[in-house]
Amino acid sequence: MNKTFSDKNNGIDYTLVGEVYLPNLISTETNYEIGVWGQRYLEYIKSHRKVFYTSLLTNCKLNSYLHDVDIRATEMYDRLIKQLKDQQGITEQLKSKDMMAWVQVMNNISNQAREIVNNEVIYTD
């Protein structure tokens, strides 16, 4: 008996262990660290898009997909913060002049940007 063989039907290689051929399964998924946006998206697809979640999980693409979503959402959030600050004329001068007003405006901008990212990237079908 050969120690290894390749099944042409499914493309999987097998190795002889004892008297049984076992498949040579190697995870191809990389292990990225997932940020807050990726974690929110994971919770969303787990509860609202179960088939999609299972498909990503079984195809070893869940972690890399969540990483891509996280990067896209983070870039969008940062870009929106900058754009909204520019639109409203928020500068470091306001921060040094009236810290509480600056904090209020920045919290408002952050909430707006978060809402936009949630609607356009995280909680979409």
Q: What is the secondary structure of 6-44 as a DSSP string?
A: E-TTT--EEEEETTEEEE--------PPP-HHHHHHHHH
Write down the pTM of the prediction. Answer: 0.74
**pLDDT at residue 69, as a whole number:** 96
What is the per-residue pLDDT for 25?
A: 72
State how far the alpha carbon of 33 is from the alpha carbons of 36, 39, 42, 66, 120, in Å.
Answer: 10, 10, 13, 9, 22
How far apart CA 16 and CA 119 sit, in angstroms, is 51
| Average pLDDT score, the chain | 90
The pLDDT tens digits of the residues spanning 66-113 come to 999 999 999 999 999 999 999 999 988 999 999 999 999 999 999 999
What residue spans define the domains of the chain? 1-28, 31-122
